[in-house]
Each structure stands twice: as C-alpha cells, then as structure tokens.
Amino acid sequence: MSACVPTRHNRTSRSSRPPRASGVKRPHSPPPPRGGRFRIAGADVSASITVFLLAVPMSLGLAVAMDAPLQAGLISAAIGGIVAGLLGGTPLQVSGPSAGLTVVTAELIQVYGWRTTCAITIGAGLLQILLGSLRAARSALAVSPAIVHGTLAGIGVAIALAQLHIVLGGSPQSSAVANALALPDQLGRLNPAAPLIGVLTITVLVLWPRIPGRIGTGARRVPAALAAVVTATTVAALAAPGIARVDLPSWRAHVLPEMPHGPALALATAVFTVMLVASLESLLAAMAVDKLSAAPSHSPSARTSAAPSPPAASPASLGVPASPGSPTTPTSQTPPSPPPSASPSPPSPPTAPAPPVRRADLDRELRAQGIANTLSGLVGGLAVSGGAVRSSANVRAGAQGRASTVLHGVWVLLATGLLVTVLEWIPLAALAALVMMVGIQMVSLAHIRNVHKHREFLVYGATITGVVLFGVLKGVTIGIAVAVAVALHRLARTRITVTDQGGEHLVVVRGQLTFLAVPRLSRTLGQLPQGGNAVVELDGFFMDHAAYEAIQDWSNAQAAHGGRIVFTGRSGGRIAEPASAAHSCCRPWTPWRNHHCHDEPGRTPEAGHGPGTPFTDARPVTDPIGSPHDMPHDALTPTPAPASTPGSAPSPDVAPGRAPAPSLHRSPARSAGPPAEATRPAGGNRLISGLSSFQRNTAPLVREELARLAAEGQRPSQLFITCADSRLVTSMITASGPGDLFTVRNIGNLVPLPNAESGDDSVGAAIEYAVDVLKVESITICGHSGCGAMQALLGAKPDPQAPPTSLWRWLRHGLPSLERMASRHHAWARISGRLPTDALEQLCLTNVVQQLDHLRAHESVARRLAEGTLRLHGMYFHVGEAQAYLLTEGASSGLELDEVFDRVGPGDPAGPGELERAGV
C-alpha cells in the first residue's frame, strides 16, 4: 500500500478517535441514550395497526407453510414485535416469523418433531446473542451478495413449490424436488374450490395497489395482504363452506420444547443453519430499513412537514422484497399541493430542525434477535427474524419510533386470545397463496440483472440450484465454493496479445497482472525489438509487485535504447503522471472529495516509491510507469474522462486517434477520515492555503493549456446559467475544464425577461455576448435541489410597507415560476418517472422550465434558434444524491414540452445524439 493515502493515519490513531462521551457517533454505533419515558406518538399507533393487519395473515401463512402449530406463528410475531422492538438496534424494524427459514423449519419439524425444533430455535438464539456480543454482525454482511440473494431466491423457489400444492388442494412433499415431481399427479386430482380461492387471493394481491383514483387512495390504507385474505374468506364462506380452513387448537394442547434428541453433529448443523439464515435475513432487512428511513420522502422532517400519505401496500410488500439491502419504493405518490395563488404565502413560524436519522446498530440488533429467538423457542414459537416487508410498511405508514413495532406485537398478542373464532374462518388456500407470492417475490429480477452485470450469475445460479436440490446450508457452501473458484479463475486468467501497427507495437494485456502472468508477460515483451515504440494497454484493476517490476525493467531498458513506451487504459488514454506529482497526497486531478486535504496543518507531500505512478489520479503526461502500490485491487475504479468539447484542442498527451485517458479514483473507504471542517483553516488562511496548493500542485499541469487559451482566446461551446449556491461546482458536475463553459451564476438561476420593469441587464448582456460574440452552440439552465431562492419564494413575502430589498427585487423575476406551478394550464413537472417529493422540488423543476421560456424571449436567442444553430437544455441537479437530470422533449413534433427530467446515468452516451435527445 502506498504511504500516501489521504487521512489514512487518522482512522487508526488512538488519539484521534472521539471519546465515547463526546456525542460523536461512529458508523452503525448505538444511538445515544435519550433518557426519558417510552413515548407513544399518534403516528406510531396508526402505523402499528397497519403492520398488525399485515402481520396476522403473514404469520398464519408461514406457520401453515412450515407445518407448525398455527399458534406458533402468532407467538413469534408477538415476541418479535415486543422483545426485538424494545431491544433492537433498528427502531423501525419489525420482526416476526422468518420467511427465509420456511423450508429449513419444515424439514426440522419433519425430521426431529416440533418440540426439538423449538429447542434448536433456542440454541440458534443463544448463538446470535454470543455473536452480537462479539460484535460480529458486520462480518456477516461480508458474504457475497450473489450468494445471499441466491440463497433467498432458492428458498423462495422451494416455498412457492410447496405452497402451490396447498393452493391446488393437496399437501406439500418433503423437498423442493419432490414437490416439483409431484405436481403432475396433483394436477390430475384437482379440487376446484381451493385453486379458485387461491387465484382470487393472488388477483386481489396484484390489483389492490393498482386501484385508481380516490377510491384507490383510500383502499391502499388497508394492506393488500389483509384485503386479499378477507375477500377470499368471505367468498369461501358463501361459495365453498366445506373448504379446508385454519384450525387453531386449544392453548391447553400447546407444547413446549424438550431436550433435543438426535446426532450431536446434525443438531449442531441445524442450530448453525437456523442462526445463519435468521441473522442474514435480519441484518439485510435492517440495512434496508436504514436506507428507507433515511430517504427524503420517509425522513422525520418529511413526515412532520407534510400530511402523511397512505401506505401503499403492493404485492412487493408481501414477502422478502426484491432487494433486502435496498428500500422498497411506494407504488403511488401524492403530488405536493401547489400554492393556492401566485403570491407567496406569509412566512411560516420557525420549526425545530428534525433530528438526524439514526443508523442501525447491527450488533445490538443481532443480540435482540437472539433474545427474541430464545424466548420464542422457550414458549413454543417459530424462529424470529427481521422482515424487510413488515418494516417497510411500518416506515411508509409514518412510524416515528420503536413504539409502533412494540404495539404491533401487543395487538398480535391480544388477537391470539380474542380473535380465535374469526381467524378460524380463513381458508388454508388463501394463506398458501399469500405465502406463495412471498416465495415468488424472493426471486428478484433486479438481483438477477445486477449479478449478471457484475459477472456473478454463475455464483447466483449455483447457490439457487444448491439450495433447491440439497438444502440451505449445502447450497450456501456450494455458492461459496463457486465464488472462490470464479475469483481464482479471474485472478489467474491473463491474455496478452501483440499487434504491429506500422512501426509501433500495440501490446494488449487483458486481466489481472500477478506473478502467475509474469513468465508470459516477460516472454512477450522480450520478443519486441529493442528501442522500438510501443503502446501497452493494461485492461485490469490489479498489478502485484512481481508484474510491476517486470514491466518497469522492460520499460527502462526500452527507454535506454531510445524507445518510446506509452501505457494506456482500455480506452486508450495515457495513465501516468510525472514523478514530481506522483505522490502528492493532494493530487490536483483527484476526485473532488479530497479538495480540502491541503487544509490539514502540517501536511506535506510524501516521498514516492519510483520514477512515476501508473493508474493514478493525475491527468496523463509523460512518465512511463511507476509504483504498483497506487493500484490496490480493491480501491481503484475507472471513470471515463470528459469528452473534448467543440472548439477546444485535443490534449497533446493523448495519442492521435485515441480516446482521452480514463481517470482512476480511490474508493471512499480508502480516503476516509475525520471531517475536513475539523482541521480546515478559517478566513484568509484558507484562501492562501488553497492558492498555495494550486500553485504547487495544479498550476504545473494546467499551465500549458492555459497558455494556449490565453494566446488563442476563449471559444466555449456552452453557456451555463446556474444558481450561485456554493454546493454547485459546475466544472465538477459537467466534467469540464478551462475554456469549456461560459458560466453565469445568480440567485435562483433566473433569466429576467428583456425590457422587464426593474430588469437586470447583466444576465441579458452575458446571453447576448455568448450568443452573438462567442457563438456558443448550446445554453443550459441548471436548477438544483434545496434552492434557497425557491424556498424564499414559497415561504416569505416582504412587508409592503417596508422598502423592497435588493434580494426581493431580484427574486421578483422568479414569480412567473410560482404562477406557472399554481396554474391549471401547465402539467406538473416530473423527475425520472416520479412526481416531485414536495412543493420546493416542484418549484425548482418548474423554475427551470419557466426560465427557458424567458430565455427564448431574448432576440439573439430567438434568432439563433430559428436558424437551427443553437440548442437549449434544462437541467436539474440533486445535491444530496449527486445526480443530474436533463429535461426531455415531449411529443415528436417538438411543440409541447413533456416537462420530464430524465436521470443521466454513468453509462449514458455524451455525443450529439444525446444532446438531440435532451434538447428542448
């Protein structure tokens, strides 16, 4: 590892760690004690009822699927809600019977009986408590996502096959393979009543969240699972009175665990399997809830500043969601209400800032799950785990704390004693259809696409196959073995080809350069003529020391004989930098997140390890190759360099006919450290240190390009009009450099109408100069999230008796945007397939569209548009997501705007075709 890793030493220095009493939280540390009573908010009560209505049919269905006593499902739901809710490290996570353990528990009950299965659950809970006390929760997430999702998908396939037999009126077999083989015979002796009830249940599950209009908005307050079970129960009571139903035996017949009987190794394996699956499911669900509760639409501030929207219960919310590690998106959104008039509303009273969203404490969560499992096993309940579905419903219902989770468990406990007669009307086919949908949704197409994109589908497929054919533990073992084999194959597979390109040789190295590839690499390079010119294209992300020295020695030998060696990445751009800048910890072309590293007191560049550095963060220059330590296999990822703009000369360092160089940046984990604000100098010192850093590190690399621009004059291709907000770094978000953009910044990215009363000539002058003198090819108006100017327009109005301030005189140019948003004659602007999250985001988007209309009113712009030599673009930048959106064209005629801002992805093209698509 290079000695020059920014702020690396601050992570391990004992003196730099914040004391526990300082209030500074480490990632995933337990929330600080608040001190006080257990508080129950009104939102928690309503959310607990919503989750209760979803949990009861789910718990009964999972108990049926496991062939366990039906009371066991309700017991585990109550204990999971109350115990895990009170003690867990994820306050909004709801725990209950584990869907991921359906197949495992069913097999354990068949082999050992119910009482021994309860004892196995106790053992798994004790093991979870031990691992949580050893702070091993984070290590559980080190398993490859392909293996985790493959395991859940395999369990989902087994669940679906087993429950399909119950839906068809039969009984499930002992394994997934046996269930698949028995399906033809089951179809041959079909009883129509149960399949019809199952189809009805699935139909309601699918269509309930899609009911349109106000009726649908009200209907979605009821979970789809509850609506489906109630509908199926009602129809079965009227049309099929003889169908098999839930049979809750008397509590007097309820059995408790016993000392386990059987081979010790087999019992230990069972305990480990239950612990592994339950822990992974709980921890992944905790991470999903963490992300969902941190989302803007579900944050405490969003929930308190707007009327709570009804929870949208969808089929995706019935089982393990598509991504246990990612939040479930609501199926519908209520658009923010526009202001009742064009005039700004009176200022609202100040509100206290919302508390920061607490991150999950995974070790505490694992201990709580262990305690819940231990208690559940002791009283004869199913194994407990956190459920992403119940938890996401809890968050969407507006829960504010753990009170909703605990109350949901209390309601389940009361229902267990008071609603026995009602529950016994539920048909088994309806519960089986509900659980079958859970299993189907555990096989996520999003996960399949993701693992295929990362070339891990073989691991995913092997895990699914192993789980279905041999069981969970063996399937996980098979997945791990295949993952290791694939990793070794990729590490050892290196292809080296040589092409003669008329006096210059192109050497292409595909794969990772390890000591295993050194013999072939040395043999190939030794066959090239001494003193010849060569381009070496290194298409890989890892180079060990042996490969580095082999290439370095060959490069030095070629240079000594007068040869010229150029090292490139896959795109052909050169990837080296001069020795003087090779190991400066504040490299001038590094990612922007390191832009304050020169502010640390006592910071001095550290010595390098060689004459230069390949695969570094610098812009390509002349040195051939350097130390391999700047290319750690787990910390560098390529990003394409910005394409050259019209009117700018190509970089002299890029070989003719080749694309610009890729830049390689460090992962955030390798540059983590204390916040820059903790050590950043203030006032003039900060300015002086920044200027000094520029002169020391950046000026030597840009001096030649700036000298060319000074001699030739500026020839920018774009006029970029954006807000003066300090968080918008235009050169960073557009990947542009000196001479590319002619930028105009003002409060609110406003374009005053020409000849308007109390207009502003500075913006009009800049537009006229850019269009008529600089002959720019496009103009972009860029708004952004959280714009203070738009917030001022929404929430404040000056006193008519007081003289208008300069700020308000300027903000009056934004009043047409406010009127446009309130008008019924204009469609709501949308962003990437969704409506804006609130009125502020709506106004920010609408303002971009309105300012484009103002821009067309300028004579010079209108003339160039008529000539077809100028393009206009609308852009929105979400600061918190670091995501850019472009305004798209509407109908093919181009006369009407669709007012949709499409997300710009990292792989989207950047050529003229893309500009045509995004043009307005």
**Whole-angstrom distance, CA of residue 195 vs CA of residue 202:** 10
Q: Is 562 left (phi over 0), alpha (psi -120 to 50) or beta?
A: left
Q: CA geometry: angle at 81 spanning 75 and 84, to 5°?
A: 110
Do 872 and 778 form a contact (C-beta atoms < 8 A)?
A: yes
Q: How many of the other CB atoms lie within 10 Å of CB of 179?
A: 21
Contact status, residue 616 vs residue 577, Cβ threshold 8 Å: yes
Which is nearest to 684 in space by CA: 695, 676, 692, 696?
Answer: 692
Q: Cβ distance 427 to 245 under 8 Å? A: yes
Helix orientation angle between 193-207 and 428-441, rounded to the nearest 10 degrees: 50
Beta strands in 467-516 (DSSP E): 494-500, 504-511
Q: What backbone phi and psi angles, to 5 degrees, belong to 427? A: -70, 145
How far is CA 30 from each of CA 478, 728, 842, rounded to the nearest angstrom? Answer: 35, 34, 36
φ and ψ of 739, to 5 deg: 85, 0
Q: Which residues pair with 649 in a beta bridge?
A: none
Identity of residue 582: A
**Residue bearing tokens 């500026």:** 714
Task: List the alpha helices (DSSP H) in 350-419.
Answer: 362-378, 388-396, 403-418
- The amino acid present at 617, given as its one-letter code, is D
Evaluate whether 403 touches 48 at the Cβ level (below 8 Å). Answer: yes
Residue written as token pair 């798994």: 124
Helices (H) and strands (E) in the chain, counts: 35, 15
CA 899 to each of CA 791, 826, 854, 881: distance values in angstroms, whole numbers, following the listed order:
21, 9, 16, 21
Burial 82-109 (b: 16+ CB within 10 A, else e): bbbbbbbbbbbbbbbbbbbbbbbbbbbb
Residue 201: its H or E element: helix 193-207
- Would you please indicate which residues are annotated as catalytic (active-site) residues? 723, 725, 727, 784, 787
Which tokens in the block code for residue 422?
């009602």
- Three-state secondary structure call for residue 512: coil
851 φ, ψ to 5°? -70, -30
Question: Of 667, 604, 665, which Cα lies nearest the Cα of 640?
Answer: 665
d(CA 56, CA 77): 8
**Residue 668 per-residue DSSP state:** G
Q: How long is the chain?
A: 920
Distance of alpha carbon 217 from the chain centroid: 28
Q: Return phi, psi of residue 883, to 5°.
A: -125, 130
DSSP annotation of 148 reads H
Residue 714, token pair as written in the block: 């500026």
